[in-house]
């Protein structure tokens, strides 16, 4: 008996759902208390940097509460970082599942990005609510602006993830180089210092980095009195995101056969 043949979109949707659940299970339950680390990492970073701030006697960020300012920056940056770094490994990690012709490599990257964004939102919410309970002012001054900054960061992460996943599968050395660049990116995005303190001539260079844009925009939307660097623009952030996503998807289509055959 021949049943109905499912449409392509129905197949894709069911694959995304199945992959999402599979990724969520291994992300949250693999290793000892993996879920706790999700919360622990940003909290430890905030605490560590607050200690550093105290040591260098920069107790406050102009126009913002330092702890919340850090929390917003760190959780947004970590979400974007998780999207591109884990997205990069998505194809490799799901290789065994390409035995089913319904699953194609790009599915793995897209689903992983969606999962990381989802987890990032939950973690950020939990941390902000937690900070709120300690008496910090955690309600953003411009919620939509903050969300737009956060979403832009996630999309940039997705674009990079799509590109890097192809690159690191076809040329593994590129993956290693990319991983080397991840740490400098943390410092160059202004996660732990206000970029507006950087002299303008260097700031110009710093703002080639889309993550610097996204973080400044999200923070600027959070605190009404915070002086975000004037270079930060949604145009650059979303332009970068669209360009990299387009390039990444093109690469995924171009090398679909080779990615699956690896």
Partner 1 sequence: MILVEDVHKRYQTDHGPGKWVLQGVSFTIPPKVNVGLVGRNGAGKSTLLRLIGGVDTPTRGRIERNCRVSWPMGYGGGTHGTLTGRQNAKFVCRIHGHEDDLADRIAYVQDFAQLGDAFDEPVRTYSSGMKSRLQFALSLAFDFDVYISDEVTAAGDAAFKKKAADAFKKLTDRAGLIMVSHGESTLRQFCSAGIWLHEGRAYWFDDIGDALKNYKESISA
Length of the chain equals 262
The residues that bridge with 61 in the sheet, in sequence order, are 64
Give the shortest CB-136-to-partner 1 separation in angstroms: 38
CB of 162 to partner 1, least distance (A): 21
CB 78 within 8 A of CB 42: yes
Nearer to partner 1, 16 or 118 (CB): 16
Beta bridge partners of 64: 61
In the complex with partner 1, the residue whose CB is nearer, 78 or 98, is 98
Residue 21 or 205: the one with the smaller Cβ distance to partner 1 is 21
- Collapsed DSSP state (helix, strand, coil) of residue 130: helix
Q: Give least dist CB 94 to partner 1, A.
A: 8
Which residues form the interface with partner 1 (CB under 8 A)? 1-3, 5-6, 10-11, 14-15, 17-19, 21-22, 25-26, 30, 94-103, 257-258, 260-261
> Which residues does 34 contact at the CB level (< 8 Å), separation at least 6?
27, 28
Nearest distance in Å: CB 2, partner 1: 6
39: Cα separation from own chain's centroid: 15
Complex with partner 1: residue 41 or 95, whichever CB lies closer: 95
Nearer to partner 1, 106 or 154 (CB): 106
CA distances from 125 to 130, 139, 186, 201 (A): 8, 11, 22, 36
Q: How far is the CB of 15 from partner 1 (least distance, A)?
A: 5
Is the Cβ–Cβ distance between 140 and 222 less than 8 Å? yes
């Amino acid at each position: 008996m021949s049943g109905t043949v499912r449409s392509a979109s129905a197949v894709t949707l069911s694959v995304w759902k199945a992959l999402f659940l599979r990724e969520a299970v291994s992300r949250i339950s693999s290793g000892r208390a993996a879920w706790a680390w999700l919360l622990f990492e940003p909290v430890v970073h905030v605490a560590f940097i607050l200690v550093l701030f105290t040591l260098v006697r920069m107790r406050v960020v102009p126009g913002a509460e330092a702890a919340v300012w850090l929390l917003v920056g760190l959780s947004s940056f970590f979400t974007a970082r998780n999207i591109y770094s884990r997205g990069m490994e998505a194809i490799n990690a799901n290789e065994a599942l390409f035995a089913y012709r319904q699953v194609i490599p790009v599915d793995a990257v897209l689903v992983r990005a969606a999962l990381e964004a989802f987890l990032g939102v939950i973690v950020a919410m939990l941390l902000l609510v937690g900070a709120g309970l300690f008496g910090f002012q955690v309600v953003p001054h411009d919620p939509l602006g903050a969300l737009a900054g956060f979403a832009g960061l996630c999309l940039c992460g997705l674009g990079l993830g799509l590109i890097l996943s192809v690159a690191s599968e076809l040329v593994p050395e590129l993956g290693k180089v990319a991983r080397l660049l991840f740490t400098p990116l943390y410092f160059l995005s202004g996660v732990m210092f206000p970029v507006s303190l950087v002299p303008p001539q260097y700031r110009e260079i710093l703002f080639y980095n889309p993550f610097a844009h996204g973080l400044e925009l999200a923070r600027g939307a959070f605190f009404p009195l915070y002086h975000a660097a004037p270079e930060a623009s949604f145009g650059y952030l979303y332009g970068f995101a669209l360009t990299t996503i387009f390039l990444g998807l093109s690469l995924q289509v171009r090398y679909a056969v080779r990615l699956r055959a690896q």
